């Protein structure tokens, strides 16, 4: 099944840590023009690569909830078309900032077939929100959480679902403050929580502050302690640590993100979006970031490139090993022509990892190794490069 990602490249403001492709101060007229092109590309690519209904739709950004009314109407119409196209879209997620949540917005999303929300909370402390450049106050954030929990929490048969995003490793923060945020979030009973370790990218406001010595990255040991506290707290509350940064109650895993980590085919719609088609010869395409070109060019400024089998297997490992289910060796072997476990015997031995047994042999890492996945992959990729030619 195909997964569909729709990138909304607009925000009211840019957070100090953000390095995603997004623009601020864009007129409603321009936003509407881009959203019309997004709707057109969705139809074009679904017809070309996956006629029928996608399994999931995920609307991210950017800030979808910050769209001008005239642009939001186009998005809602597109979602209504996708969810009412004859098949049942299993999961339709829209990212929201808590300060944008209103009764009328939730009504509109529900009417358009949205059945899952992802709230970018990040923190419930005013001082922490200020440190990362988010103008919303903790009080406003709580009001958004309360409304979503009341409207979407505990719906019949789990029809409506929602997730909360938090950040760890914020300069000036402490493990204790993150755990306090988490404890408060849990009072709203989300079925899914994402906890991302903040990475300070060079070309961001925080990156500039770091280079100029205005802030300091928290010590690695402190962040590791923070992540471990969170993990123990959530597991103790019944959440499953199913991916490096993601926790869910039973039945609450993100279907869209699981498809992404499994390297299932997905279409990227919108300026700057990336899609990956994982057929016999995998390809990746990237849409132009130029709004004018995206809106006027017949191909939306799309650039396609093939993915060499060796590189695709690396990506399978990089994505799949983040999850509790690991990587299917039989699927990887179909692309490379050889069992990947045979390419990294030294790495598997060094890390004491044993592939599972037939019929679906898998490499599955313990949670301790997943927490330092980059180190495992460094050894695995070096071994793959040593044993396979570049274009294989």
- Run of H or E including 195: strand 192-197
As a whole number of angstroms, the distance between CA 31 and CA 38 comes to 10
pLDDT classification of 187: cutoffs 50, 70, 90: very high
Q: How many beta carbons lie within 10 A of that of residue 76, not counting itself? A: 20
User: Phi and psi at residue 38, in whole multiples of 5°?
Assistant: -60, -45
Q: 60 and 162: one domain? A: yes
The three state secondary structure string of 142-182 is HHHHHHHHHHHCCCHHHCCEEEEEEEECCCCCCHHHHHHHH
Residues 182 and 74 in one domain: yes
- CA-CA distance, 286 to 288, in Å (whole number)? 7
Least-confidence region, from 85-89, 119-123, 166-170, 262-266:
85-89
Is 303 part of a structural domain of the chain?
A: no
Per-residue pLDDT at 156: 40
User: Is residue 230 domain-resident?
Assistant: yes
Is residue 179 a part of any domain in this protein?
Answer: yes
- Is the distance from CB of 171 to CB of 212 less than 8 angstroms? no
| Residue linked to tokens 């729709």 | 6
Higher pLDDT, 329 or 4: 4
DSSP 23: B
* SS3 category, 266: strand
Would you say residue 284 lies in a domain?
no
Tokens of 41: 């590309």
349 and 202 both lie in a single domain: no
**Rounded mean pLDDT of 163-182?**
92
d(CA 376, CA 382): 10
Same domain, 200 and 325: no
b/e 36-58 (16+ beta carbons within 10 angstroms → b) = ebbbebbebbbeeebeebbbbbb
> What is the DSSP secondary structure assignment for residue 215, as one 8-state letter?
S
Determine which helix (DSSP H) or strand (DSSP E) holds 226, and give its type and residue range. Answer: helix 220-236
Same domain assignment for residues 152 and 41: yes
Residues 157 and 226 occupy one common structural domain: yes
What pLDDT was estimated at residue 392?
56
- Reference 82, options 117, 47, 118; nearest CA is 47
Give me the CATH number covering residue 130. Answer: 3.80.30.20
Q: Same structural domain for residues 315 and 247?
A: no
Q: How many domains does the chain have?
A: 2
Does residue 88 share a domain with residue 19? yes
Whether the ω angle into residue 359 lies within 30 degrees of 0, i.e. cis, is yes
Tokens representing 175? Answer: 């493990």
Q: Cβ(206)–Cβ(17) under 8 Å? A: yes
Residues 90, 230, single domain; the answer is yes
Judge whether 54 lies within some domain.
Answer: yes
pLDDT per position as a tens digit, 308-366 = 888 888 999 999 999 999 998 887 777 667 777 888 899 999 999 988 765 678 899 99
- What confidence score (pLDDT) does residue 389 get? 66
Two tokens at 1?
């099944």
Residue 301 resides in a domain: no
As a whole number of angstroms, the distance between CA 40 and CA 159 comes to: 29
**3 state SS of 51:** coil
Average pLDDT over residues 159-164: 86
Q: Which residue has the higher pLDDT, 49 or 389?
A: 49
Residue 12 lies in a domain: yes
Interhelix angle for 103-111 vs 69-83, to 10°? 30
Read off the tokens for 116.
Answer: 């899952």
> Is residue 98 domain-shared with residue 233, that is, in the same domain?
yes
**Exposed (0-12), middle (13-18) or buried (19+): which is 127, by Cβ within 10 Å?**
exposed
Decide if pLDDT at 155 tops 60. no
The answer to whether residues 313 and 335 touch, using CB atoms and an 8 Å cutoff, is yes
Give the pLDDT confidence of 53-80 residue by residue, as tens digits: 899 999 999 999 999 999 999 999 999 9
317/251 same-domain check: no
Q: Is residue 292 part of a domain?
A: no
* Residue 359 confidence (pLDDT): 64
Instruction: Provide, rounded to the nearest whole percent, the portion of the chain with pLDDT above 90.
Output: 72
- Residue 358 belongs to domain spanning: 308-392
Residues 128 and 252 both lie in one domain: yes
């Amino acid at each position: 099944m195909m997964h569909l990602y729709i990138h909304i490249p607009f925000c009211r403001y840019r957070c100090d840590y953000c390095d995603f492709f997004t623009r601020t101060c864009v007129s409603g007229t321009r936003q509407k023009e881009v959203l019309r092109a997004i709707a057109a590309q969705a139809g074009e690519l679904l017809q070309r690569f996956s006629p029928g209904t996608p399994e999931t739709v995920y609307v991210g950004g950017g800030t979808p909830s910050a769209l001008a009314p005239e642009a939001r109407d186009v998005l809602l119409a597109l979602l209504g078309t996708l969810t009412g196209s004859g098949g049942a879209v299993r999961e339709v997620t829209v990212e929201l900032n808590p300060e944008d949540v209103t009764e009328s917005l939730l009504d509109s999303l529900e009417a358009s077939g949205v059945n899952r929300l992802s709230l970018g909370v990040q923190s419930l402390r005013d001082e922490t929100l200020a440190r990362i450049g988010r103008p919303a106050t903790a009080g406003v954030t709580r009001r958004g959480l309360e409304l979503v929990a009341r409207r979407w929490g505990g719906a019949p048969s789990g029809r409506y679902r929602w997730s909360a995003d938090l950040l760890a490793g914020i300069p000036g923060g402490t493990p204790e403050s993150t755990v306090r945020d988490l404890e408060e979030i849990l009072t709203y009973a989300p079925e899914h929580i994402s906890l991302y370790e903040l990475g300070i990218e060079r070309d961001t406001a925080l990156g500039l502050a770091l280079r100029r010595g205005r802030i300091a990255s928290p010590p690695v040991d402190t962040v590791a302690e923070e992540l471990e506290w969170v993990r123990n707290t959530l597991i103790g509350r019944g959440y499953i640590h199913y991916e490096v940064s993601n926790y869910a109650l039973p039945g609450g895993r993100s279907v869209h993100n699981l498809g992404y980590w499994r390297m299932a085919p997905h279409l990227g719609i919108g300026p700057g979006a990336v899609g990956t088609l994982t057929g016999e010869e995998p390809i990746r395409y990237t849409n132009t970031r130029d709004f004018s070109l995206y809106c006027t060019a017949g191909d939306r400024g799309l650039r396609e490139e093939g993915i060499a089998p060796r590189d695709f297997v690396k990506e399978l490992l990089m994505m799949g090993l983040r999850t509790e289910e690991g990587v299917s060796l039989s699927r990887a072997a179909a692309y490379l022509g050889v069992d990947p476990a045979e390419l990294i015997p030294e790495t598997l031995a060094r890390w004491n990892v044993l592939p599972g047994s037939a019929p679906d042999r898998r490499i599955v890492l313990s949670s301790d190794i997943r927490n330092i996945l980059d180190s495992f992959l460094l050894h695995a990729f070096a071994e793959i490069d040593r044993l396979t030619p570049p274009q294989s």
